[in-house]
Amino acid sequence: MLTLKQIQENKAEVIERLKIKNFDATATVDQIIQLDNKRKATQTKADQLQAEMNALSKSIGQLFKAGKMEEANAGKEKTAVLKEQIKALTALLETTEQELQAALVQLPNLPHASVPAGKSAEDNLTVREGGEMPSLTNALPHWELAKKYDLIDFELGVKLTGAGFPVYKGKGAKLQRALINFFLDQAIVAGYQEVLPPLMVNEDSGFGTGQLPDKEGQMYHVGVDNLYLIPTAEVPVTNIYRDVILNAHQLPVRNCAYSACFRREAGSYGKDVRGLNRLHQFDKVEIVQVAHPDKSYETLEGMVAHVQTLVEKLELPWRILRLCGGDMSFTSALTYDFEVYSAAQERWLEVSSVSNFESFQANRLKLRFKEDGGKKAQLAHTLNGSALALPRIMAALLENNQFEGGIRVPEVLVPFCGFDLIK
């Protein structure tokens, strides 16, 4: 959430920068400024009346002591009037603050200066790429390989739950577990502390990281208990630091977490949802950092480098994209997407997003820090990234490593799964 100071002091800049995200903020910004001014004026008037009533209450006692009963009773009548006026102003203040909050949460985060203009994924910029493109003939897509080698049962998933909930079996399950352990171990080596978070969160957590009120239609809601199944471990892990004031010497804070992720993916249809390409439940290892504002972009580059080492060790062809304004999330200031190439599908598959949210989430979370010896707390910066999401990684591994007699397992995963070939 943008701060009122940002909006009040930089109105024109806020409106102009949000155009990069194809968001016309003019009316909302004007509404926010008007409501903020109304809130301030109402608060000032309420404070003045409260001060007047306090002074009057004190004088009434003195008048009674002096025997000036008529003046004292007149003062009491005026006090009653002031109480009603203050009550009305307090109610107005509460309503105004609610309206102001509702308007504030409509504004997306400001994009970083390096974010390119654009409306869709076609306008994203390729930053760099690497890896060797596989040369295969008569390559099978992963959903056919999964059936051929009895690795993943999509039909059984439909029976048990519905489309988008696959069942991993045998070596497919072991390979899935191997990827999770590999990603976690690599994150720990890189200095991240592992946490195992809940798979459901409350409304405050959903609001803190920006899923609410923007994306409630894409999350599974447990209505009886008013809880939400997490779309990513980012939500519970980042919320660990909600309403927390850190010391500057504690920054950056690094956490990694494995979790199942749940997404309704409403409106997703067509060939791009075949097999593992788009699921309602999938596994992911997430990396999250809380950073000093002066160092958050240095931190972002370090996180991107970490994800790059993962796809390189998996021997997958990869590329990194800087997302354009129209393809960025509501909460992000700058996002890099990682894609790996699918030889059988002959297209790139997104496997990670690494983002800096600057102070946008921290403002909603009330996540702050103090400089050593400092008295005033300031907002921290939050960042996260997929390291990595498993479904499309699994798809690319199966497709790119197939040969006539089976599927080769990348060398780095063999110690984790216990086999080097799927025959």
Determine the Cα–Cα distance for residues 56 and 2; give it in Å rounded to an integer: 41
Across the chain, mean pLDDT equals 95
DSSP per-residue string spanning 27-64: HHHHHHHHHHHHHHHHHHHHHHHHHHHHHHHHHHHHHH
Determine the Cα–Cα distance for residues 289 and 191; give it in Å rounded to an integer: 11
DSSP per-residue string spanning 131-156: SPPP--SSPPPHHHHHHHTT-EEHHH
Phi, psi of 224, deg, nearest 5 = -60, -40
189 belongs to an annotated ligand binding site: no
pLDDT at 267: 59
On the question of pLDDT at 271 being above 60, the answer is: no
Is 326 within 8 Å of 119 (Cβ atoms)? yes
- The residue-averaged pLDDT of 212-230 equals 89
Name the residue among 349, 390, 423 with its Cα closest to residue 182.
390
353 belongs to an annotated ligand binding site: yes
Name the residue among 392, 405, 391 with its Cα closest to residue 148.
405
Reduce the DSSP state of residue 205 to 3 states and report it.
Answer: helix
Please name the residue that has the structure tokens 């496997």.
351
- The residue-averaged pLDDT of 91-108 equals 97
Asked whether the whole model's pTM tops 0.85, one would answer yes
84 belongs to an annotated ligand binding site: no
The pair of structure tokens assigned to 366 is 């009330």
Q: What is the DSSP letter of 108?
A: P
The pair of structure tokens assigned to 26 is 């003019």
pLDDT at 68: 79
Determine the Cα–Cα distance for residues 333 and 22; give it in Å rounded to an integer: 14
- The residue-averaged pLDDT of 406-414 equals 98
Q: Measuring CA to CA, how many Å separate 236 from each of 136, 203, 255, 351, 366?
A: 42, 11, 11, 21, 15
On the question of pLDDT at 106 being above 60, the answer is: yes
Provide the pLDDT confidence category of residue 74 given band limits of 50, 70 and 90: confident
Q: Name the amino acid, one letter, at 245.
A: I
Q: Name the amino acid, one letter, at 97.
A: E
Please name the residue that has the structure tokens 């798809």.
395
Neighbours of 222 (CB within 10 A): 10
pLDDT at 270: 58
Q: What is the per-residue pLDDT across 341-382, written as a single tens digit (0 to 9) for each?
A: 999 999 999 999 999 999 999 999 999 999 987 789 999 999
- The residue-averaged pLDDT of 311-337 equals 97
Q: Domains, the chain, ranges and CATH?
A: 4-104 (1.10.287.40), 121-422 (3.30.930.10)
Distance of CA 52 to the CA centre of its chain: 47
129 belongs to an annotated ligand binding site: no
pLDDT at 217: 80
Q: How many CA atoms does the CB half-sphere of 366 hold within 13 Å?
A: 5
Determine the Cα–Cα distance for residues 388 and 340; give it in Å rounded to an integer: 12
On the question of pLDDT at 64 being above 90, the answer is: no
What share of the chain has pLDDT > 70, as a percent?
Answer: 98
Is 303 within 8 Å of 336 (Cβ atoms)? no
Q: Residues near 235 by Cβ (< 8 Å), separated by ≥ 6? A: 201, 205, 206, 208, 209, 211
On the question of pLDDT at 269 being above 70, the answer is: no
What share of the chain has pLDDT > 90, as a percent?
Answer: 87
Q: What is the per-residue pLDDT across 134-169, written as a single tens digit (0 to 9) for each?
A: 989 899 999 999 999 999 999 999 999 999 999 999
- The residue-averaged pLDDT of 12-38 equals 98
350 belongs to an annotated ligand binding site: yes
285 belongs to an annotated ligand binding site: no
Neighbours of 251 (CB within 10 A): 20
Name the residue among 376, 360, 377, 359 with its Cα closest to residue 368.
377
- The residue-averaged pLDDT of 170-182 equals 98
Provide the pLDDT confidence category of residue 31 given band limits of 50, 70 and 90: very high
Please name the residue that has the structure tokens 């295969």.
136
Is 262 within 8 Å of 231 (Cβ atoms)? yes
17 belongs to an annotated ligand binding site: no
Determine the Cα–Cα distance for residues 176 and 398; give it in Å rounded to an integer: 12
Is 251 within 8 Å of 292 (Cβ atoms)? yes
The number of helix segments (H) and strand segments (E) in the chain equals: 13, 19
216 belongs to an annotated ligand binding site: no
Q: How many CA atoms does the CB half-sphere of 112 hold within 13 Å?
A: 20
Strands of 227-229's sheet, edge to edge?
Answer: 200-201, 227-229, 221-222
Name the residue among 359, 412, 350, 360 with its Cα closest to residue 385.
350
